[in-house]
Amino acid sequence: MTGWVVIAGLGPGAEALVTPEVSDALAQATDIVGYIPYVRRVTPRPGLTLHESDNRVELDRARHALEMAQGGKRVVVVSSGDPGVFAMAAAVFEAVEAEPAFAALDIRVLPGITAMLAAAARAGAPLGHDFCAINLSDNLKPWALIEKRLRLAAEGDFAMGFYNPRSASRPEGFVRTLVVLRETCEPERVVIFARAVSTAEEAIRVVALKDATPDMADMRTVVLVGSSRTRVIPRDGAPFVYTPRFTPA
Ligand code: SAH
């Protein structure tokens, strides 16, 4: 049996948002590797071994997957959303770079629908012009760098998507994020809190920056901030939010 590693994105939550090529890889796999809640999204079946691991052991997990493939297993490493967006794909390539023998393996990355795009689609088209994504967790980088990127992105008038906005272990980061945004953007700037998009717990909230509070975000929320051009179209129910394609000189 020839082993391989597929690094796959399971999308934001809904089964319908898993791509057919990811479903095919899962159907052919002998082993699934990933963070517990993501592995639990894979339906068990005979012949399939599920390896659940805790968060923050990405490199061990990546090595484990690569070693199993060397032994002939067909391994799918699962992430939520897209595996290249603040997820496992980079961890696997870190492990490959550290151990050149791994580079001979059949390794493929299969994209998924990332949270910010799923959230944007729910709201309308808030990312209709230039945008950027920032991971607000300071687990893997200093807070000073996050704050610098926030300021420069706001100054560049990008729409922004924030991943990992607020966790119980670092509640102060998002408080600080709102302070920086208020220093750099006007009070009416559109902010979208999109929680658990495409799941039964989905909640989308559209507010002006002046009304945004830290408790509106948690680890299941992706936060989108419009550019200065982003518009809100009020209607019964949730408004449409969009960023025009045209920016005047
Ligand atoms: N690889 C993932 C991101 C992993 S980081 C992706 O591409 O989407 C984890 C963060 O993603 C969460 O803290 C949250 O900010 C965001 N996220 C993941 N799934 C989400 C969902 N269904 N709804 C809203 N945000 C989500």
The per-residue pLDDT for range 151-182, each reduced to its tens digit, is 999 999 999 999 999 988 888 999 999 999 99
Distance, C-alpha 102 to centroid of its chain: 26
71/56 Cα distance (integer angstroms): 25
44 C-alpha to center of ligand 1: Å? Answer: 23
CA nearest 67: which of 90, 93, 101? Answer: 101
| 82 CB within 6 A, ligand 1 | yes
Is the distance from CB of 108 to CB of 4 less than 8 angstroms? yes
For ligand 1, is residue 85 a contact (CB within 6 Å)? Answer: yes
CA of 217 to the centre of ligand 1 (A): 12
In this structure, the dihedral spanned by the alpha carbons of residues 37, 133, 216 and 138, taken in order and rounded to 10 degrees, is: 70
138: Cβ contacts below 8 Å, ≥ 6 apart: 146, 170, 173
Q: Nearest to residue 165, comparing CAs of 186, 194, 142?
A: 194
Ligand 1 contact, 133 CB (< 6 A): no
Task: Using pLDDT thresholds of 50, 70 and 90, give the confidence band for residue 237.
Answer: confident
Q: Is the CB of 227 under 6 A from ligand 1?
A: no
Mutate which of 78, 169, 220 to test ligand 1's pocket (most atoms within 8 Å of Cβ)? 220
In this predicted model, what pLDDT tens digit does every residue of 19-39 receive, in sequence order? Answer: 999 999 999 999 999 999 999
pTM score of the predicted model: 0.97
Predicted confidence (pLDDT) at residue 65 exceeds the cutoff of 90: yes
Question: Would the pLDDT of 249 be above 90?
Answer: no
Q: Is the CB of 196 under 6 A from ligand 1?
A: yes
Which H or E element spans position 23? helix 20-28
Percentage with pLDDT > 70 across the chain: 100
Distance CA 94, CA 44 (A): 29
Q: Greater confidence, 169 or 223?
A: 223
Residue with CA closest to ligand 1 atom 18: 115
Confidence of residue 211 (pLDDT cuts 50, 70, 90): very high
Ligand 1 neighbourhood includes 216 CB (under 6 angstroms)? no
Instruction: Indicate the average pLDDT of the chain.
Output: 96
